[in-house]
Amino acid sequence: MPLRLDSRDPGFAAAFTALVDARREANEDVSRDVTAILKRVRAEGDAALADYTQRFDRHDLNASGWAVTPAETRAALHGISTELRDALELAAARIAAYHEKQKPQDSDGVDAAGVRLGARWSAVDAAGLYVPGGRAAYPSSVLMNAIPAKVAGVERIAIVTPTPGGDINPMVLAAAHIAGIEEVWRVGGAQAIAALAYGTDKIRPVDVITGPGNAWVAEAKRQLYGVVGIDMVAGPSEIVVVADGRNDPEWTAADLLSQSEHDPTSQSILFTDDAAFADAVAQAVERQIPALSTAAVARASWDANGAIILVGDLGEAMPLVDRLAPEHLELAVDDPEPLFARVRHAGSVFLGRMTPEAVGDYVAGPNHVLPTGRRARFSSGLSVLDFMKRTSFLSLTPAAIAAIGPAAVALAKAEGLPAHAASVALRLP
């Protein structure tokens, strides 16, 4: 059964702190296993990839083919229904429109001292995108990762995805075609992350790796940060719903289960100020779970990581929400703006009763690759900026270096760096 808490109970503070501090992510065994996988792929390259793929995904890369051809992605697009093709194209258009507005502007100007200062933005040369393909296959993740990279101007984009039995979901291939991706590899897991980071004879290395994956994928990204850039270390999915008693409990139950069905380690939490509504939602969850094709996963997640928290009023919930810093936050009230104004830490916020988190997973436009595990306290969702870097520049005239150079000389001498001081002083009048 899910955790039930009441903010008015004497033991609430300790119980809520335990909920905030609970870890649902990789353990030491995962870290050790990933270290060994990365080391082997770096040393053995494609041979290690082929062996791991045979072992974990049960197919021979040399027989099934290492890469998916553009002709196969095109055929996949034409092979799905018109309804699904239209849905993917709508999603792609909305994601592109949203992310186009994130493109940063270059700057260039001269300050009062006569120094020209500026910054120029440019895309990375190559990006690697991880697309899950084990427990479920997510064409939406293809669009959410590939389109920001395209908008940023990345010239080479490579997808890696696990293919159990050698098969790839045709929707994933269709999404890759819509996104204009021509490099798709039938390799997944930590070994795929290693291949993108280090490069092999077949797979060229990239500069940035993005995309969600299981605990081994997340740990591989964490260990390889610095060799390549990464978007984030993503953990299990999570949702917090703040709702009053005027909501339909069936809607709220479905919203909570939309994350519970992802994985047994996902987390779904309801804050409400209405005890009767809390009970109604709990009952609705019990009614809905058996009807789900994902019932086993949803049940395990809800029982282990679900929580219903009763508060005196919804304003009281907001500092508690900030402590959780959730990946997804729904504010299911008539006027969400006052509560939204108090939100400091959340990956993405869904405002009002008619805005379920699930619409953001597919067609709304903002990215669904979001910080988990309280990382919204210091990080943001995937964006165009994850595929770009900023180069600053400056230019001094004789008058400009005369104006600011003496201060640089003084600071260099104070730091005990005489060559620094000399490089400036020799240019002074």
Instruction: State yes or no: 395 annotated in a binding site.
Output: no
> Is the separation of the CB atoms in 185 and 53 below 8 Å?
no
Q: Where does residue 37 rank: exposed (0-12), middle (13-18), buried (19+ CB within 10 A)?
A: buried
Instruction: State yes or no: 191 annotated in a binding site.
Output: yes
- For helices 170-178 and 70-79, what crossing angle results, to 10°? 110
327 tagged catalytic: yes
CA 333-377-11 angle, to 5 degrees, is 70
Burial 60-87 (b: 16+ CB within 10 A, else e): ebeebebbbebebbeebbeebeeebbeb
Instruction: State yes or no: 223 annotated in a binding site.
Output: no
Instruction: State yes or no: 59 annotated in a binding site.
Output: no
Question: Which position among 99, 177, 328, 368 bears the catalytic label?
Answer: 328
Q: In this structure, which amino acid lies at residue 279?
A: D
89 tagged catalytic: no
Helices and strands in the chain, H and E counts = 18, 15
For every residue of 296-363, which 3-state class applies, written as one string?
HHHHHHHHHHCEEEECCCHHHHHHHHHHHCCCEEEEECCCCHHHHCCCCCCCEEEECCCCCHHHHHHC
Instruction: State yes or no: 262 annotated in a binding site.
Output: yes
Instruction: State yes or no: 345 annotated in a binding site.
Output: no
Question: Which position among 183, 238, 261, 327 bears the catalytic label?
Answer: 327
Instruction: State yes or no: 361 annotated in a binding site.
Output: yes
Q: So which residues are the catalytic ones?
A: 327-328
Binding region for Zn(2+): 259, 262, 361, 420
Binding region for substrate: 237, 259, 262, 328, 361, 415, 420
Binding region: 130, 191, 214, 237, 259, 262, 328, 361, 415, 420
